[in-house]
Structure 1
Amino acid sequence: MPEPSRPVVLLFPGQGAQHPGMAVELYGAEPEFTEAMDEFFTLMGEEGRRMRADWLGDDPGVPLDDASRAQPLLFAIGYALGRTLTARGLRPAALLGHSVGELAAACLAGVFDLAGAAQLMAARSAAMATVGRGGMLAAGLAAEDLEARIGDRFLAAGVSVAAVNAPRHTVVAGPEPWLSDLARELAAGGVTTRPVPARQPFHCPAVLGAAELFSVGFAGVPLAPPRVPIRSTATGLPVERAQALSPGFWAGQLARPVLFWAALDGLLSEGGYTLVEAGPGRTLSMLARRHPAVRSGRSTVLSPLPASAQGTLAAWKAALEEIDGLVAEGV
């Protein structure tokens, strides 16, 4: 008797997954992807035109790691990939996004339409423009161990744990010069950190004011319950109807920690899945491969795009063969 197909979950990465030329080879070669990207850029108006030029060009006017570029482009690419896969007949059982990837999941699930998403991405960028210089650091420590090392002095400056990606993969964020001072203290204590590509902090008290500004941007954007379950990185549980309809829930995500591992663990505890990363690179795929359910083979991971610009189209076509197989099996 054949083994039943595993339901598919789409994973949408956030800040840190961006790289020059990400998904560019699909533009013009994959009609549904191209249409979705152009639709988003058009809805973004003049800023969308500049964003498209920066994405496709070799000399961007705004650095890719800046929130005003990385965030809307990661959103757009994740959404466009999701729309491309569903157009091929893939029916995801759930969606799981990291940071701005959660907004891509929400748009794909119908919480807001693409026109609303363009308004929200513009509002998110404007809110983050009010935040001073800062960033994020990844550390190979458990969250509770890292919190103990941060201490009151850094907490008072707005530095805190920003993401719990795996049991020993934690991200801390905050403003400068405090974040660099913490990195030096951690290094002196034998803890190695790695900068996450970002010019601003996210998911920490330093952006509470930006989150409040972002919430204003939801004015006039209709919200609806998700048509596909979204696994929340705030609770680790499916997004509830009341949460989906609350601007504060989505805007508050900007300042609260991303509990990615809790969301992934809750999902994979329910059964076997095929996890497909709908975004550039393999950031979330690598984290998912650490999970016992994946290591045991009960769940599997598929990464359609490489972590560099070259080879994107070839990798995508190879992944589509597996994805089309899933569709043929009725997933």
Structure 2
Amino acid sequence: MKIGKAEFCNNVFLAPMAGVTDRAFREICREMQCGFAYTEMISSKALFYGNKKTQDMFLTSSKEKSVGVQIFGSDPLVMAKSCDFFNDNEKIVLVDINMGCPAHKIVKNGEGSALMKNPILASQIVKEVKRASLKPVTVKMRIGFDDRNINVIDFAKCMEQSGADAIAVHGRTSAQMYIGKANWDIIGEVKKAVKIPVIGNGDIFTAEDADRILNKTQCDGIMIGRGAMGNPWIFNQILQYVNNCPVEYPTPRERVDVCIRHYKKSIYYSGENRAVKEMRKHIAWYIKGLKNSKEIKDKINYEKHSEGVFEILDKYRDLL
């Protein structure tokens, strides 16, 4: 798959997710044959004002050959200025603009999915970012803001005309958040309506789901979000399934082993204190459905040091 000058080894991508797609998790997913991965969404305003913590969010690891950076905001010129941070970074191969985030704190500022209610401003943002960026520019969107405002087809055409090199569509409205069922039919309609690549997103939790959305929508690629949480094996599984190969699933012990490896990467990149806090949710995802998982999760949530967490996980793995 290709977007502008950026080429990818396959068309199964890891979606940008706040608080999730940091360097450690991206590395794990790329090891599992993820075709491409994005940073967490980054505030263009925070970059503009020189926030160091925000700048750290687009750091890449030595093992990452390429990454997409996702920015959000509502000021076209400030959004464009963000490109100054990425243009000379060879590992950042595209800039994605978030127009799909449904979080209230983002929407109330006219950012994220709120931009779908303001296509004129959204168009200005794409034009300015496109003008400033030396990398392909893409847009991630929802099918509309709510059931009364499902405008994704016209919105997608507008983004294409404004210069977007590709779009990703999550098959829900902003008002739905993550409840209900993703509408894959309308993603297929978007694919027919534009000439640029379309990436389908929403309710892809298994290899079978991936195969169905690809066949139903004929989209150019797919983007896995929640389906990869605690399950980075999904990328391998999808490629195995669509290539008519036996699909391999991790054993309970393998799930814990990868969880531990993920944890160690998190400590390396983020430091002990942050990793202990950030990894709690990841551990819960990795062991979900395994025997005594709630008991183990509760024990880990009380631990303040990684040594204690590793001891719990080592003992737990041996019992599986």
TM over 0.5: no
Structure with a larger share of its residues in strand:
2
Q: What is the TM-score normalised by the length of structure 2?
A: 0.29
Q: What is the TM-score normalised by the length of structure 1?
A: 0.28
Structure with the larger RCO, 1 or 2 (CA within 8 Å, 6+ apart): 1
